Structure 1
Amino acid sequence: MTTASPIRVLLVDDHAMVRRGLATFLKVHDDLELAGEAATGEEAIQLCGRVQPDVVLMDLVMPGMHGVEATRAIRRQFPAVQVIALTSFNEEGLVQNALQAGAIGYLLKDVSANELAQAIRAAHTGRGTLSPEVAQALIHASTQPPALGRDLTGRERAVLTLMVQGLNNTEIAEKLFVSPSTVKSHVSHILSKFDVASRTEAVALAVRHHLVD
């Protein structure tokens, strides 16, 4: 496959040997070109503005700003730049965070050279690519019930914290400067989300699962 101009690729990884291997890989493909190298997330963002890559190969676990943060910043500041996460880790949370941050692809570092080249070309045309293991992790995550407390709102979490401290609805209302009826509504939502029937059960779950400080 050839294009009128090569796809410019920015490499982001804190390991020089990994970047060197990827740079060598790019040289053997006529339609791919090394746009630059960065060792940190901060450097990647700066380079994007300077070298204007088409695609970024982004490591996720790096000192300082990690790859998810860098991906989010790049996609916000340079929306034309596509980001492919290229990492050794396929934990469900990391995969979800990277994709939510705007990564168009998620590949593990044991990907073949041909698969990586195809993923870069796909990203350049707006198509995503996931390693099979990553796709499986996403499927698993989508079939699991949400973690306890994950769907609490900020105000519900504040109410729960005061419940754990032993305050009743009137005392919580005074602390949060709201009406007791508002607190009662929040408590009702908390019980529903926890699938319990009483405040005591909700407090016990919150303590057991370390949901409040």
Structure 2
Amino acid sequence: MNNPPPTIRLLLADDHPATRAGIRAILAQASDILVVGEAQDGYEAQRLVAALRPHILLLDLQMPGLRSAELERWVRAHYPETITLILTAHERDAYLVGMADAGVAGFLGKNRPPEQLIDAIRRAAHGEILFDVEQLTRIQRWRAEVGQRWHSLTDRERQVLTFVAQGKTDQQIAEELHLHVKTVGNHVSSILSKLNVATRTEATVWAIREGFIDGPVDL
């Protein structure tokens, strides 16, 4: 007589109740997967990981409260037996790289068929890493191209770029950082040159799109 497969205990973390309900309905089709808890923000997910010790944390990328990458680094440090899968509608390369670096086992699109989601959870529970060839290629490209540009900026230039993205003028930035306005202008010129863009707006869009500065996810 064959023994039934061990139950995979899963914590579901997403800030949209309708999304959680839909995922819960999908996972109810799998007799070996049990949703042991649900979290609607990053801090609640952190508390429930500690309390429930799930096998799998199915985590939405864009969580309020504690950010998903910070949460995953905490999970890896304190509960390494919990495996995290990211479920998202936003497969921006910067997010993919950030979560891979944080230690997640896979980065799954929310539009994948139910049977593929169930299969991914089972495979992750057995220790598989679920980044596919296309995702790994994107990670390598980002690190070689985008990451190199970002790391070419000095700490001060990154600080100035953050203020530029907030719409501040050189004078306002100078006052914030206690610098001469001409020094700020030189920093801005250097930023544009290193990022290979022509305007402050292009630099802002680049930094937000690549995930270095917070902004709209659909840029």
TM-score (norm 2): 0.67
How do 1:1-213 and structure 2 match up within 5 A? 4-130=5-131, 134-135=135-136, 137-142=138-143, 144=145, 146-151=147-152, 204-206=189-191, 208=193
Give, in angstroms, the shift of residue 134 of structure 1. 3.7
Give, in angstroms, the shift of residue 118 of structure 1. 1.4
Listed as ranges, the gaps of 5+ residues in structure 1 are 167-199
Give, in angstroms, the shift of residue 24 of structure 1. 1.2
Residues 105-148 of structure 1 show CA distances to partners (whole Å, capped at 9, x for unaligned) of 10010011111111111111221113676445325425536443
- Structure 2 contact 8–34 (Cα < 8 Å) conserved: yes
Give, in angstroms, the shift of residue 22 of structure 1. 1.1
- Structure 2 contact 105–129 (Cα < 8 Å) conserved: yes
- Structure 2 contact 157–191 (Cα < 8 Å) conserved: no
For 1:203 and 1:39, how far apart are their aligned partners in 2?
Answer: 39
Pair 1:153–1:33, CA change in 2 (3 A): same
Listed as ranges, the gaps of 5+ residues in structure 2 are 160-176, 204-219
For 1:25 and 1:157, how far apart are their aligned partners in 2?
Answer: 43
What secondary structure sits across from 1:110 in the alignment? Answer: coil
The structure having more radius of gyration, on CA atoms, is 1
- Structure 1 contact 68–98 (Cα < 8 Å) conserved: yes
What secondary structure sits across from 1:34 in the alignment? Answer: strand
Pair 1:90–1:145, CA change in 2 (3 A): closer
Pair 1:37–1:111, CA change in 2 (3 A): same
Letter in 2 for 1:14: D
- Structure 2 contact 15–63 (Cα < 8 Å) conserved: yes
RMSD: 3.3
Letter in 2 for 1:205: S
Percent of pairs with identical residues: 29
What secondary structure sits across from 1:24 in the alignment? Answer: helix
For 1:203 and 1:15, how far apart are their aligned partners in 2?
Answer: 39
Residues 136-183 of structure 1 show CA distances to partners (whole Å, capped at 9, x for unaligned) of 53254255364435156769989xx99x976xxxxxxxxxxxxxxxxx
- Structure 1 contact 56–81 (Cα < 8 Å) conserved: yes
Count of residues in Structure 1 that have an aligned counterpart in Structure 2: 175
Find the counterpart in structure 2 of residue 189 from structure 1: none
